[in-house]
Each structure stands twice: as structure tokens, then as C-alpha cells.
Amino acid sequence: MPVNWIALTVFVLCFAGVTVLGFASAHWRKGDLDLLHEWGLGGGTFGTLITWFLIGGDIYTAYTFIAVPAVAFGAGALAFFAVPYTTLIYPITFVVFPRMWSVCRRHGYITAADFVRGRFGNRWLALAVALTGLLATMPYIALQLVGLEVVIAGLGVTTEGLIGHLPLLIAFVILAAFTYTSGLRAPATIAVVKDLMIYIVIIAAVGVVVRTFGGFGPLFAAVPPEKLILPTPPAGSTGVYGVYASLALGSAAALFMYPHAITAILSSSTRNVIRRNSALLPAYSLVLAFLTLLGFMAIAVGVKAKPEYAALFARYSNQFAVPALILDIFPPWFAGFSFAAIGIGALVPAAIMSIAAANLWTRNIHLEFINPRATPAEESRMAKLVSLLVKFGALVFVLGIPKEYAINLQLLGGVWIIQTLPAVLIGLYTRWFNSWALLAGWAVGMAFGTLVVDANAFKNATYVLSVGGYQLPGYVAIYALAANLIVAVVVTLLVNMVLRPERRDATVAADYV
């Protein structure tokens, strides 16, 4: 595919614009960026609107825009699980995260592991939570870079060989530099631009559907019937129904355990900002629904059969469906704008993720285990440095390792991060669990989940539970979490029976309201 100069020019201009914005953000609501709380949480000053953009930009990532429609394009209705998933997180958010915010604000916690350290007084449990966060975040950042690479390829710029890595490298350096100087303020301002761009792209795509197909009816009619809804389960099994529901529920429960989600939550200025946003954020889920339907549009337009896209389909398989569709239905300048929206959509979450990872490392590993005497300035400097390292690691990951690995590790990331739910989320409500029992449950859940995904040769994250000859296939994260909880309960009961361990809870009930 030849270089699309018009699209490329628009793309580069948009990127240049957000780069300037990223650096200028350091001066917005000016705070002392030598304090970790200022650099890594934006001073905790974000109101309803900024938090709405920030969380929206954070959890609806470039990879979502590429991968979810790609599944719709290839497998059909199953991809739509993203819609119940991103809907069911908000009632949980509404109830749980104001508590989280309150206790963290009162004690100056900036990570989930900080909270666990205070609540259970066990540095090893906090270490497990921090390491899980780091482990799950790295492939997530790598995937953002994969999403960026796919749109760069869509511009007709070669992504092969040493020269081919150059565009990604440039985007990466920009990202690293503004994150370093501005901290969380940079992705917060860029998220506003990025989200508005995404909304414009989606409205335009719906416009194209109405104009070229005469509405959504003919669009769905072009989709093969077997892809349109889920297949009915065979006798003696819950079939795809169970997979669909457990993927939605498991992903929803996992999402707000991710460090980047918690960072965004903790940066809001009041409890009510979180409560209000729980009602406002579903707007993004509706956008995601239309985005998923882009996969069907790509089927209807028949992008895969077009010779000009064959090479890139061969390289990126179905992940090229959305870029191909954009090139096909939009004029070049708007294709460039759309690609920029997705590309900037990679920068925002990648920045927040690397900041969240840096906070975890600095607070829960460096300060706890390596240098407890670090001054606040040293703490902040360390975090900035680690944010660079984390991104560099992700870059090596993308350039050096086959892409399937990044995708599969991301799948596993969800299975891993949900194992911190008993300590973090249930910990917000009760300290009944013994901290060592939580650690044992965590270890069992991690091992079980990893073994199942490994046994599936990293192809999928489904586990089939057989109960009395009845097959219950489902997302392994849910099963691994169940194993985790059972172990945590049993070990707590045993420990309480044998010895009466002293509780070391640094928080009091009044901290949570």
C-alpha cells in the first residue's frame, strides 16, 4: 500500500498538537511536580468533567477500538460482550469506589497496594498486590503500542524492518517525554481532545451507515446469520451463553482492579465526582457498542476481499478490519483524523498506565523494601524514572516479541489482576480475612488461572467446569477468583482456630465514609 500523504499529514498535525498540549499541561492547575501526589495523581483535583474524560480515555483504549471490532468482524456477536462488560462496572463503581477514595484520601494512599498495606498491616500481601498490578499492566501498555502500529501501517507507512520501527519510536519518545514532565496532568488534558475526536469519528461512521446502507437494518442483513447472535448451547452445557456472561462479569470485576483505573479514580477531587461519573460514563459504553458494529460494517463493505488491503490483513489479520474500513469509507483527510483519534487513544492510557505502574513501584517496592528513607522529592524522581522504564519495557515487548504474545498476556492480565479483588475490594468492607490467608488465596488463584490459560496454549481464557456431567464453560478469571476466595476463607478459619493473630489495621471505620 502506498503512503497516503493527505492522511499522514493530518495524522502528524494532530499528533503535533497533542504533543504541545502534553507539555503545556505541566502548567495547568499548577502544583509542585516534585511531589508524587502531584505528579502521579494530578494533585487529586480533577472535577466531574475532567474525570469523565480521563476515565473514558483510560479504559476505552486504542486497543479496544482495534480489537473489539476485529472480534465482531471475525467471530460476530461474541464481541458484543464488551457492552454488558462496560455497563456492569458502573453500579459497582458507584457503591465501592467512593469508599476507596475516602480511605485513600484520609491516609495519603496513592495505590491499591498502599491501602492493602494499611488495612492488613502485611507488607508481603501489599507486595503481591503491587507485583500483580505491574505484571498485568506491562502487556496492556504493549497492546496500546500494537494499536498504534496498526494505524501507522494503515497510513501506508512501512512498519517492517528497522526503519519501520521509527514512527512507533517517535510516538513513544513523545509519550515518554510529556509523561515525565507533566505527570497525570498530561493524559488528563489530552484525553479531552482524544475523546472528542473519537465521538466525531463514531458519529461520522453512523452517518456513513445511514447514507450508504440506508440504515442499520441492511447493515445487519449483510452479516452472516450465524454471526448475528450467539449459538444456542448444546444439551448438557451452558455453551457460549456461559462464556459470554462470565466474560462480561469477570472483565467488569477485573477492570477497576487495574492500577491505571484506580489512579484515575483517586485523582478525582471528591467522592461525588466518582458517584456522578458512574451515571455519566455509560455514554462511552454506547460509543463502544457502535464501535463494535464497525466490525459488521467491515463485513458489509467486504474489506477483506479488496486486493489493496491484502498485505496488511496478512500481517495484522482481523485487527486490520477497522483501519481498512476507515480507509474505504472516509476521504483521506478524515481517515487521517480517525487514525489520529485511535493513535492518541493509545497515548492516553499508555501514559496513565505507566504512571500507575511507577506509583506502585515507588511506593510499594522501592519505599517499602529498598529505601524507606527516601525524601518526597526522591520519591517523585524515582517514579518519573520508572515511568520511562516501564514504557521502554513495553516497547521492547512490542518490537521484540510476536504480537500474539502481547494479546495473550493481556488476556492473562485480566485473570491475574482479578486475584487482588479479595484484598482490595472486599478489604474495603471487612478485615475479617487473615492477611496470610489472602496471600494464600492469591497464590492459588494466580497459579490456577495461569495453568488453565497455559493448557489452552494461550489461545483463549475459557475453563470448562463439569458438575455431575453438566458442562459449564466460562471465563477462567471467575473460576480462579472462586478458588482464591475459597482458600482465603478456609485458611482464615484455620488460622483463627489455631492462633489468635493480632490485627494491624491502620484504618478506622470512619475513614470509609
Q: Which amino acid is it at 92?
A: I
Enter the DSSP assignment of 432. Answer: -
- SS3 category, 467: strand
Give the helix ranges, DSSP H, for 305-420. 310-316, 321-329, 332-360, 376-400, 403-417
Provide the residue type at 318 as one letter. N
* Residues within window 262-281 making contact with other proteins, judged by CB under 8 A: 275-276, 278-280
Q: Which is nearer to other proteins, 165 or 275 (CB)?
A: 275
65 is a contact residue toward other proteins (CB under 8 A): no
- If one counts every other C-beta atom within 10 angstroms of the C-beta of residue 502, the result is 6
Q: Check binding of 219 to other proteins (CB under 8 A).
A: yes
Nearest to 482 by CA among 498, 502, 503, 467: 467
Q: Which amino acid is at 109?
A: Y
Structure letter (DSSP) for residue 137: H
12-17, Cβ contacts within 8 angstroms, sequence gap of 24 or more? 14/197, 14/336, 14/337, 14/340, 14/341, 14/343, 14/344, 15/171, 15/174, 15/340, 15/343, 15/344, 17/193
Task: Map residues 7-46 to x or -, x wherever contact with other proteins holds by CB under 8 A.
Answer: ----------------------------------------
Name the maximum alpha-carbon separation found in the chain. 72
Q: Is 121 in the site for other proteins (CB under 8 A)?
A: yes
> If binding is defined by CB under 8 A, does position 220 make contact with other proteins?
yes
Q: Give the integer Cα–Cα distance in Å for 132 and 125.
A: 11
Print the binding letters for residues 228-257 with other proteins: x by CB under 8 A, - otherwise.
Answer: xxx-x--------x--xx--xx--------
In the bound state with other proteins, the residue whose beta carbon lies nearer, of 280 and 389, is: 280
Min. distance of Cβ 502 from other proteins in angstroms? 8
497 contacts: CB under 8 Å, gap ≥ 6: none
Q: Which range in 21-29, 63-71, 209-217, 456-464 contacts other proteins by CB under 8 A?
A: 209-217
- If one asks whether residue 60 binds other proteins (CB under 8 A), the answer comes out as no
Q: Is residue 62 a contact residue for other proteins (CB under 8 A)? A: no
Give me the least distance between CB of 253 and other proteins, in Å please.
11
User: Does 493 interact with other proteins (rule: CB under 8 A)?
Assistant: no
- Any contact of residue 75 with other proteins (CB under 8 A)? no
| The one among 47, 215, 376, 501 contacting other proteins by CB under 8 A | 215
Smaller CB separation from other proteins, 208 or 245: 245
Distance, in Å, from the CA atom of 452 to the CA atom of 455, rounded to the nearest integer, reads 5
Give least dist CB 10 to other proteins, A.
31
The residue ranges that bind other proteins (CB under 8 A) are: 77, 80, 83-84, 87-88, 90-91, 94-95, 117-118, 121, 215-220, 225, 228-230, 232, 241, 244-245, 248-249, 275-276, 278-280, 282-283, 285-286, 289, 293, 502-509, 513
